[in-house]
Copies of this chain bind each other. A is one copy, B any other.
Amino acid sequence: MSDFLLLTPGPTGVPQRILKALSLPMIHHRTKEYQAILERVNANLGKVFLTRHPVMTFASSGTGAMEASITNLFSQGDLVLSFSAGKWGERYRDIARAHGLQVKSYEKKYAEAFEAQEIAQALEDHPNAKGVLTTLCETSTAVAHPIQEIAKVTRLGRAILLVDAISGLGCDIFKMDEWGVDVTVCGSQKGLMLPPGLSFVALNERAQALVPKSVLPKYYFNFAQTLKAMAKNDTPFTPAISLVRGLEEALFMILEEGLENVWNRHARIAHFVRSKAAQMNLQIFAQSPSNAVTAIGMPGGIVSKDVIKHMRDAHQVVMADGQGELQGKIVRFAHMGCCTMKDAERGMHAFQDALAKAGYEIPTGVL
């Protein structure tokens, strides 16, 4: 599989430096060595989340961290406003419902994004709302939300703003503290270039103040215990040591390149993919596209599956189909994490070839 280029919206390809860190000899976690690693990792997570607040790391997929942000910050019956523009926004809403929160659900047609004004209006309509659930990059539609603007309207009231930044962080510009985001949820296998298996939740003071008030039952995902342990560079439960060592390397790589440069690289690559698709007369599905992934609408008569299969078989390039009702209709060309312009060019070449093989006439001069 080593010649395969993973342009899927998580997991992404994992750079050699990180793969090497994953296979370091095991060390025990209740040691000075591990504490030192954790201290560096926690400090560097702050530099990537752009927060001076604690960024907690859990052994779980991103969904676990989403659930943790509900069970540790709210109680049964609390009203939260959910803004979903795709499968991941819906998941956040469903998790809140599963735990007995009262959820007012706002939903966008797939491809569309919410504007800050809509959140402001919803908050005005529901002054007793305790939380606002949003998504930075809605991976299922490749839509990015204007979190900076949303945070501006949210921080005026008492509702906290929770952002699922699982696939957006490290790809789309995101400034937790400067923007006033209260809770940031993330996963390892997207912008952070790691294998799946780690998830993150960052909490500012407003969010931390809610932790002792939440009475929802919880044990494994426990913010109070985690924050307490973090102060001593410890974790309440055995951490996923090898993944954390990979994380240490991933954060070094991001900070070496510079977070602004990482964002700019994603912006350049996203621009390249979108321009090429536009030149091919294809539809950029998302109305407000993310720089982490581009969803490209399939022209009439062509289904994503065939295009994806050809890319894989003939070019060893792996992209993703749409999910749910979007299956067959879009190809998700991800360019998150360690993706370089060269990778994107290889991906675009494979994409063009696959479309041509499927009978689509690609305008001259685009190839």
Contacts and interface: CB of A to CB of B under 8 A. Distances in A.
18 contacts: A2-B24, A4-B25, A20-B23, A28-B318, A29-B196, A30-B320, A59-B60, A59-B61, A60-B60, A62-B237, A64-B220, A67-B219, A98-B217, A99-B217, A100-B217, A189-B238, A240-B240, A242-B242
A85 to B, nearest CB: 20
Chain A interface category by residue count: 35 or more
Contacts of A187: 238
Given A11-B238, A59-B60, A26 B195 contact: yes
A46 B20 CA distance: 31
Interface of A: 1-2, 4, 6, 8, 10-14, 19-20, 22-31, 33, 58-64, 67, 94-95, 98-100, 187, 189, 195-197, 216-221, 237-243, 318, 320
B22 A238 contact: no
Number of copies: 2
A2 B320 CA distance: 39
Contacts of A4: 25, 27
A240 B238 contact: no
Contact of A10 (B24, B238, B320): B238
B23 A11 contact: no
